[in-house]
Structure 1
Amino acid sequence: MDHEPARPAAPAGTSEPEPFTTADYAARMAAAAEAAADAGLAGLLIAPGPDLAHLTGYRPTAETERLTLLVLAAGRDPVLVVPALEAPDAAKAPGAGALALRDWTDGKSPYAVTAPLLEAAGRFGVSDNTWSLHLLSLQRELPATSYVPLTDALPMLRAVKDERELARLAAAGAAADAAYAQILHLPFADRRESDVAADLAGLLRVHGHSQVDFTVVGSGPNGANPHHEAGDRVIRRGDMVVLDFGGLKDGYGSDISRTVHVGEPDAEEQRVHDIVREAQQAGVAAVRPGVSCQEVDRAARAVITEFGYGDRFIHRTGHGIGVTTHEPPYMVEGEERPMVPGMCFSVEPGIYLPGRFGVRIEDIVTVTADGGLRLNNAPRELALVD
């Protein structure tokens, strides 16, 4: 049956976040250009996506084959190359006052416009989502140039958040907590997964999200697939249900997972949930400055392995979050970069029993001066729903 979630007023005490200024964006671009120079790069080429949003505040309204590219290099003023028909919108971006706009018109080559802005024989860092069409065309204009993805060249470019970014992430986390608190009071049994997913999406929007990126609802055996997309399966009494949902609020991400049970769980279901909860706590407890990111994964994984489910924890323990819901750093074996105050990432161990059920518990955590601070505070006990 269809069900429309309650539509409460915005939470008391909420307010618009303090906006980022032109000076903030100018400082970000200057720092990025210096980091590129320190890494031996001639500059950075930033296409539409999270890097461009972080550095300039500009989010083009639609993905297009027309070239849009921010060019950054130490000692040079930043330049944003844009299609002429999109230049008016680009000029309104919060960081536009800190850069020059260079537009191009249909019928002309955007690469001929961009090439003079680059060194003829440089090695450039490029945002990961840059179209190969654009890079190959630029290389045709400048055959001696080469390119490396930012994930390889500057993986920590957006990893450390300032106080205002942390405030936005905390507000996004609180909004996701509020959505979870309300979903527990809505019916699960005899409804499709997609119905509950729609409820979650609606509640995220009620609590201030402008964008919903995912609403995983994995009931019964579907919960054993970590990235199961909510489908037409009807949730039954006796099901474990994995809920994993998030999106963007005021430009910054939320991401939370909780596992609920429809009616009373059996002893094994409760035990597996307790193990994951203990593993998640161990992962959070491992967060502190100077310790490598992989130690968070090791701490959580050790608990699950100790109880005999090591082969059923089949993904990394966490991922960074900021202007997008997945970004560096990653909490995974082999990631030896040290944690730094201001880093924000998920801690989300899980156990997945194929054909039966799954359990995952996830919070966003930020590194503080002496440990870690959760940005999600929704209860982690196994909640019982109707």
Structure 2
Amino acid sequence: MSIESEEYAERRERLSALLVEHGLDALFLPPSSDLEYLTGLHRDLPSFGHLSYAHGWVAGAFLVPGREPAFVLPRMVVEFHLDGKPPPGAVVVHEDADGGLLFSEAARSLGAARRVGVGARAWAETVLELERALPRTELVEASSLVNRLRRVKSAAELGLMSQACELARAAMEATAPRVLPGVTMTELVEEVEHQLRSRGSRCPSFPTHIFTWGARRLDSGAATASEPLADGETVLFDFGAVVEGYCSDFGRTLLCGEPPLGYEEAHAAMLEAQAAGRAAARPGVLAREVNAACRAPIEAAGLGAGFRHRMGHGIGLDVHERPFLSVEDETPLDVGMTFTDEPSILVDGSFGVRVEDVIEVTGTGGRML
């Protein structure tokens, strides 16, 4: 399963209508989830640092209502990230070319643009060059507009996200037997990520996080990652898979040995909270109201101080997308939106519990993907 070219074209048609509605003549997007959503140009895998090339700041595309995307790309990006195959009509900027001039010519080909939207991931250098190329043009932030298009998922998107969720569940099932005294958080991370990749995940959807919460804290992202797990500790998993660019975000809590005092009651309250949040995720309900529904069972159990997180966040091509199921978010939900449902309870010095699944908003509540 993949996104067909017709769906990308339909997305750009909806974008064109939105640009006209907001008085924007064009939109510039750098390589990003927004550009991938609208054109299918894949992003690179996340990495430490920034892969830097000559004229790297020019990379992106201008999107104008009624026209095909106009790409400007460094030669190195085309050669090594696009297999030497630039998109049709792309301006390819070679190392010894005048990148500023070529970018300026591409920008001016927009015509007498009064207002141009810019993606939130654009480099400061890119924005400054746009200002030089279009001195009479107002530049405005526009990723929030693209987010409005991305919130409701198509059948194809839901299918890919369901695959990513299933990969995460399978990886958890394969890893669970490793949760024994003596294992380290580093070893559990390696097992989870091996299981994800061997099942077809392009990469983890974010850095895999595995940790304990209790009398001591072992954490895959800290110096304690190599310390062995002991009997009676709870292990919290937070990871996700990627299928055709679409993410899952998944969580479970596993016991090593016998449960600590209060664990079973907290675990039951957490599962009740997850179910309550899922049931509240209906069209027209405000995001903050869904969050409140999730919190209620944990508060009723007297464990509210341990619920330090929000219920969840939007998810799709990015692992964190707006809107958020959180106390501050007034967004009304709509059918086809996707969110994480991830209540947790952290009791300092005793234990932690967390669970996380991805849900789709339907007319009768959230459906687990």
TM-score, scaled to structure 1: 0.83
The answer for the alignment partner of 2:67 in structure 1 is: 76
The answer for the alignment partner of 1:381 in structure 2 is: none
For each residue in 1:1-21, what CA deviation from the matched residue of structure 2 results, as whole angstroms up to 9, or x when unmatched?
Answer: xxxxxxxxxxxxxxxx2x333
Q: Which amino acid counterpart does residue 120 of structure 2 have in structure 1?
A: D
8 Å contact from structure 2 (residues 16, 64) kept in 1: yes
Q: How many residues align structurally?
A: 354
Alignment of 1:313-332 (within 5 A): 313-332=307-326
2:91 to 99, 102, 106: 102
Q: 1:357 to 1:67 in 2, by over 3 A?
A: farther
Deviation at residue 364 of structure 1 after TM alignment: 0.1
Partner SS for 1:277:
helix
Partner SS for 1:231:
helix
Alignment of 1:223-234 (within 5 A): 231-234=225-228
Unaligned runs of 5+ in 1: 1-16, 376-386
Partner SS for 2:353:
strand
For each residue in 1:334-383, what CA deviation from the matched residue of structure 2 results, as whole angstroms up to 9, or x when unmatched?
Answer: 322221221111011111223443221111001124322101xxxxxxxx
1:131 to 123, 126, 135: 123
Deviation at residue 60 of structure 1 after TM alignment: 5.1
1:238 to 223, 232, 235: 232
Distance 2:170 2:215 in 1: 25
Q: 1:90 to 1:40 in 2, by over 3 A?
A: farther
For each residue in 1:201-227, what CA deviation from the matched residue of structure 2 results, as whole angstroms up to 9, or x when unmatched?
Answer: 111112210111322111134998999
Q: 1:256 to 1:302 in 2, by over 3 A?
A: same
8 Å contact from structure 2 (residues 294, 343) kept in 1: yes
Alignment of 1:365-380 (within 5 A): 365-375=359-369
For each residue in 1:178-201, what CA deviation from the matched residue of structure 2 results, as whole angstroms up to 9, or x when unmatched?
Answer: 111111222432111111111111
Q: Which amino acid counterpart does residue 39 of structure 2 have in structure 1?
A: T
Q: 1:342 to 1:35 in 2, by over 3 A?
A: same
Q: 1:277 to 1:140 in 2, by over 3 A?
A: same
2:29 to 42, 46, 59: 46
8 Å contact from structure 2 (residues 209, 237) kept in 1: yes
Partner SS for 1:359:
strand
Q: Which amino acid counterpart does residue 139 of structure 1 have in structure 2?
A: E
- The reply to whether residue 253 of structure 1 matches residue 221 of structure 2 is no
Distance 2:349 2:138 in 1: 48
The answer for the alignment partner of 2:136 in structure 1 is: 144
Partner SS for 2:90:
strand
8 Å contact from structure 2 (residues 252, 354) kept in 1: yes
Distance 2:32 2:368 in 1: 27
Q: Percent identity?
A: 32
Distance 2:233 2:202 in 1: 31
Distance 1:307 1:161 in 2: 35
Partner SS for 2:305:
helix
Considering only aligned residues, what root-mean-square deviation do their CA atoms show, in Å?
A: 2.6
The answer for the alignment partner of 2:335 in structure 1 is: 341
Deviation at residue 85 of structure 1 after TM alignment: 4.2
The answer for the alignment partner of 2:186 in structure 1 is: 194
Unaligned runs of 5+ in 2: 46-50
8 Å contact from structure 1 (residues 41, 122) kept in 2: yes
The answer for the alignment partner of 1:21 in structure 2 is: 4
Distance 2:292 2:218 in 1: 22
1:210 to 198, 202, 206: 202
Compare relative contact order (CA 8 Å, sep 6+) and give the higher one, 1 or 2: 1
Deviation at residue 147 of structure 1 after TM alignment: 3.3
